[in-house]
Amino acid sequence: MKFRRILALALVGTMALSATAFAEGETTEITMWTYPVGDWGNAEVMDGLIAQFNEAHPEISVKVEYLDYTNGDDQVNTAIEGGQAPDIVFEGPERLVANWGAKGLMVDLADLWTDEAKEAIYDSVEAACQSNDGVFYEYPLCMTAHTMAINRDVFEAADALQYLDEETRTWTTEGFINAVKAVYESGQDPVGAVYCSGQGGDQGTRALVNNLYGGTFTNEDHTAYTLDSEENIKALQLLVDTDGINFDASIAGGDEIQLFCNGTLAMAFCWNVAQEKNNAEIIDFDVLPMAFPSESGEPQLCGGIWGFGIFDNGDEAKIAAAKTFIDFMANDESIAADSVKASTYWPVKDLGNIYEGDELMTEYATFIPYMGDYYQVVGGWAEARTAWWNMLQQIGTGADVATAVADFQTTANAAAGQ
């Protein structure tokens, strides 16, 4: 999906909030539950951000509760069932749009999505923050693009760097094939692994398959899965037939990362900037993050988007206060960059180089313009993820690719209601 290039800094403007806005001298208390997105899960950091907010808006009190990804969904769902849902949740479209929004539990944030916001925020992000019928259930703050990575030292020794573009961090499918061949023939085996013991890191294997020959995972409307295309079947068959690429049902994404970091694998498909930061002490080679290979050399990367949603708890004053908080955190020039940096990711619009002086974050910013369709909002998503790794296991044990893909289609689209 094509990105706009906007030179303006953060969107600044006044919102048309509800007429039930805050009476003079009164304080409106709202609750925000946040998943651990970088330091948005860090109480000390959040206290600092909220203190800045209260300097501008002393009439609004914000109480924060910190969730994790193990029990967070259960906590939210229990609160919903008990009529005690938080006012704001900080997370991604999978939950805010495709789950709670689709169930009619969230507030329409159309008044936050002004013309200026739509002009400033990247197209792919805007599309992900609304339902299929155009209702905005999320206002975004930050994003990341998932990449792959190679062991540059191994590739250089195998004379395989000639098959990729180090400046743009892109390569063609032909270049990928030639590079894997060169590295494999240099004695590195395996070169890479199609991990499939579970769903962990599945964004990497999906991006690999979809990019190789221009396939897609879902249709444009995000209502059905489209894995059974000629392009995707061709890509899976290529991986089966390529020496040095192994289907490995004993590992998931996190295991693959460790095997890459310790030098067992020469490439990783489950990668992003967090992996390089988290493993810096054990990596003793030059990591070269790369976009996934594509026939055209123009990749479409999977990514993450995080932002705010508001539960409709029937209190217009709290809804108005929640919108004021979101607008301030995401759009006010005094804090927008700090809000994004607290996430350890990148802004959903051009705020300039907020990580100036940080070489690693600046390096990975290269990949943000390559982010493609955010399709993780299609129905039956949980079932489709399970069907994906089951399909890879079947292929890895010798099943016919087209047959295994057809089985995936049947399972995933049944879950999607097709």
pTM: predicted TM-score of the whole model, two decimal places: 0.86
Residue 164 has pLDDT above 80, yes or no: yes
Q: What dotted CATH number matches 147-300+379-415?
A: 3.40.190.10
pLDDT at 9 over 60: no
Instruction: Provide the mean pLDDT of the chain.
Output: 93
**What percent of the chain is modeled with pLDDT above 70?**
94
CATH topology of domain 28-144+303-370: D-Maltodextrin-Binding Protein; domain 2 (3.40.190)
Residue 6: band (very low, low, confident or very high) from pLDDT cuts 50, 70, 90: very low
Dump pLDDT digits (tens) for 246-289: 999 999 999 999 999 999 999 999 999 999 999 999 999 999 99
Query: For position 132, what pLDDT does the model report?
Result: 85
Amino acid identity at 116: E
3-state secondary structure 169-207: CECEHHHHHHHHHHHHHCCCCCCEEEECCCCCCHHHHHH
Mean pLDDT of 361-369: 93
Q: What is the structure's pLDDT at 25?
A: 64
Q: Widest CA span of the chain, in angstroms? A: 75
pLDDT tops 90 at residue 345: yes
Q: What is the pLDDT of residue 140?
A: 98
pLDDT tens figures, 10-48:
333 434 444 344 455 689 999 999 999 999 999 999 999
Percentage, residues of the chain above pLDDT 90: 90
Q: What is the DSSP string of 354-393?
A: TTTT-HHHHHHGGGGGGB----TTSTTHHHHHHHHHHHHH
Comparing 8 with 391, which gets the higher pLDDT? 391
Range name among 10-19, 305-314, 357-366 with the lowest pLDDT average = 10-19
Q: State how far the alpha carbon of 98 is from the alpha carbons of 40, 199, 379, 413, in Å.
A: 22, 19, 7, 16
Residue type, 155: F
The reported pLDDT for the residue numbered 26 is: 83
Distance CA 384, CA 9 (A): 39
Mean pLDDT of 41-67: 97
Taking 60 as the threshold, does the pLDDT of residue 343 lie above it?
A: yes
In this prediction, residue 17 carries a pLDDT of 42
Name the DSSP letter for residue 39. G
Predicted local confidence at residue 7, as pLDDT: 30
**The pLDDT value given to residue 67:** 97
Q: Which residues of 78-100 are buried (b: 16+ CB within 10 A; e: fewer)?
A: ebbeeeebbbbbbbbbbbbbbbb
C-alpha–C-alpha distance, residues 177 and 304, integer Å? 28
Q: Specify whether the CB–CB gap between 210 and 375 falls below 8 A.
A: no
Q: Which whole number is the average pLDDT over 96-107?
A: 95
Q: Residue 266 has what pLDDT?
A: 98
pLDDT band at 124 (very low <50, low <70, confident <90, very high): confident
Start-end of CATH 3.40.190.10 domains in the chain: 28-144+303-370, 147-300+379-415
Q: Does 3 score more than 60 pLDDT?
A: no
The pLDDT of residue 394 is 98
| Whole-number pLDDT of residue 356 | 92
